[in-house]
Structure 1
Amino acid sequence: MTQTLFQRALADRWSLLPPEVQALHSVQDVGSFSGKADITRGTSLIARFAAWFFGFPRAGRDVPVTITKTRTDKGEIWERNFNGSTFRSFCSQADKPYHYRERFWLFTYEQELPVQNSTMHLPVRRGWLLGLPIPRPLLPGSESREYADDGTFRFDVVLNAPLWGGLIVRYTGHLTPDQ
């Protein structure tokens, strides 16, 4: 088996992750994970526009979710399906250690991967629009994290609009590997 994107990006931090988080980031070809999520959407104009533009899911409780990860020679395609509402991103290696990049349409964001108390955090550190740098004050805020609880992979994704635009979307829940 060859190292996956997150195994390479995390390097010595990989071993700090619980097996449930490692499993989600160990897909060698195509893998899917299913569970449930609670989704909250922001109400400001900028938050509603951003949620629509990126295709983030609508608000709801106990929403069925499936994440399908497809590994390519250049990275990973992540498809998130929230009860039929799907959005995709392409993840690739960053130049900096302990970072990776995620592309949504015309936007690319670089996220750091600190691991604290067996929890991986994913703060946005840099961004580009059509290859042009996005000034730091215009970057979205991310308070996202992945962890395990009671032997189950858990996620808490929080995305905030720049310039005090408030919450764009928050989805929390759990996933287990599909067999």
Structure 2
Amino acid sequence: MRDAFGEIIAAQKLEVPPALLRFHAQPPERSQGVVSVEGGNRWARLLAGLAGFPPPMPQSRFRLDVAQHGKGHLWRRVFGKHQTRSYLRFDARKGRVLERFGPVELELAVKAQQGTLVITVEKASLLGLPLPRALCPESASMEFETPQGHLGFDISARLPRIGLLVRYTGHITLTELNLRR
């Protein structure tokens, strides 16, 4: 079953590289790779930690577990020894991906740009209450196919007046999906 990104790729007929198309069409239950994590100032790290994001770390092992749950998927990201969980689903009425981290829900816009899947936060809510733009996280996140045929990612979140909360970059190895073998 397609994940939320696969649903939006299909609904909007986005042109994305084969590795992304196949991954999101039927995400593996477990993927592994490497990741590096950056953090912001001490206030940003405190907020990122409260939201469940990993602390800064040099290149480390990364694992992504994806499990279907209701009309969406649970994503568990394992950064070394740290775990971050979220629930993602596609909202066809809004044409957006909704991602929930505990009491925070993000409304994500997705577009394809020069072979990259670009993901931006459009709205956020806390306990179902919309957050004002000044408290809404900003994102410059993307997924792409690496030269080795793996799923590369560069995910970041910032808060106005606080700065960088977290940025993690790396890739997950898509051995079973590698189209360049």
Report the TM-score, using the length of structure 1 for normalisation. Answer: 0.89
Q: Which residue of 1 aligns with 2:35?
A: 37
Contact 1:121 1:144 in 2 (8 A): yes
CA distance in 1, matches of 2:98, 2:23: 17
Q: Which residue of 1 aligns with 2:113?
A: 116
CA drift at 1:11: 2.6
Q: Which amino acid aligns with 2:32?
A: S
Please, which of 20, 45, 49 is the counterpart of residue 52 of structure 1? Answer: 49
Contact 1:32 1:178 in 2 (8 A): no
Percentage of pairs with the same residue: 30
Q: Cα gap change, 1:78/1:4 in structure 2, threshold over 3 Å: closer, same or farther?
A: closer
Q: Cα gap change, 1:96/1:170 in structure 2, threshold over 3 Å: closer, same or farther?
A: same
Q: Which residue of 1 aligns with 2:22?
A: 23
Alignment of 1:140-151 (within 5 A): 140-150=137-147, 151=149
Q: Which amino acid aligns with 1:9?
A: I
Q: Secondary structure at the match of 2:41?
A: coil
- Structure 2: runs of 5+ lacking an equivalent: 177-181
Q: Secondary structure at the match of 1:114?
A: strand
Let me know the Cα RMSD of the aligned residues.
1.8
**Which digits, 9 at most, give the CA deviation of each residue in 1:32-70, with x for residues without a partner?**
11111111111141x122211122112222210000111
CA distance in 1, matches of 2:12, 2:120: 16
Q: Cα gap change, 1:84/1:23 in structure 2, threshold over 3 Å: closer, same or farther?
A: farther
Q: Cα gap change, 1:14/1:44 in structure 2, threshold over 3 Å: closer, same or farther?
A: farther
Contact 2:2 2:26 in 1 (8 A): no
Q: Which residue of 2 aligns with 1:174?
A: 171
Report the TM-score, using the length of structure 2 for normalisation. Answer: 0.88
CA drift at 1:9: 1.9
Please, which of 154, 157, 160 is the counterpart of residue 159 of structure 1? Answer: 157
CA distance in 2, matches of 1:52, 1:90: 18
CA distance in 1, matches of 2:53, 2:60: 13
Q: Which amino acid aligns with 1:145?
A: M
CA distance in 1, matches of 2:78, 2:2: 26
